[in-house]
A = this chain, B = another copy of it.
Amino acid sequence: MTTLTAVPDRAVPPPEQPAGGLTPKAAQTRAQILEAALGLFRESGYDGTTMRGVARAADVSLGNAYYYFASKEHLVQGFYDQIQVAHAEAAASALASETGFPERLRAVLETWVDVAAPYHEFAGAFFKNAAEPRSPLSPFSTESTAAREASIALYRRVVEGSDLKVAPALRAQLPELLWLLQMGVVLFWVHDDSPAQRRTRDLVANAVPLVDRLARLTRLPVARGLADDVVALVRKVRG
């Protein structure tokens, strides 16, 4: 779940029509299956939904469902897409009107909580699958690269459109670090049983000013060396 910025489905075997396009018929069938799956996920959750049920609801055979979606997990990517689009849209309008770094950061994090809220109940099951390292759904997987980059780009906009003054070396790395912060928020969120995810919202409200102050602190000589080393560590450890 984490990013919930997901990746366009590539579970589809590219049959005849090249250029990544599907036959109209194939696209239709595929959409049918996905729609049925998302409906059942909403109704019965992830575990409560069976591939047989999806196939039946989509009016196709079980084998056909597997022809388009290699596994039950792959169906979840459609769910990711929906949230990712909604988050990007909601965040965009907030970013258009704010210039302060903490306000922008808080807006983006809070809109994620807003957008994801309706799915909180089922998020646990999704999160479980996304957390598996070898899963294509993992936010760290190569399959998720595009989605991850898109999400990081959102935080790049947060930084670049803001008045933040920060150690130069850190500035380039900051979007990625903020994305990691979102990962942490998501982790907290899936464990948050408070009504309307109140505690996650509190976390965001209280953590953002701290991040802001910490970032600005890196301009002081006493902290700058440390900030540089953090950047170096992240860079080294990333790949």
Contacts of A130 in B (CB 8 A): 131
Interface centre among A124, A128, A220 (most CB of B within 10 A): A128
User: B127 near A133 (CB under 8 angstroms)?
Assistant: yes
Is A70 interfacial (CB-CB < 8 Å)? no
Q: Do A131 and B127 form a contact, CB below 8 Å, given A210-B229, A230-B210, A233-B210?
A: yes
Is A25 interfacial (CB-CB < 8 Å)? no
Contacts of A134 in B (CB 8 A): 124
Total identical chains:
2
Contact of A214 among B127, B128, B199, B226 (CB under 8 A): B226
With the chains together, A214 CA to B227 CA distance in Å?
Answer: 10
Is A10 interfacial (CB-CB < 8 Å)? no
Q: Do A202 and B128 form a contact, CB below 8 Å, given A223-B217, A226-B214?
A: no
Contact of A203 among B199, B206, B237 (CB under 8 A): B237
Contacts of A226 in B (CB 8 A): 210, 213-214, 217
Interface string of A132-154 (1 = CB under 8 A from B): 11110010100000000000000
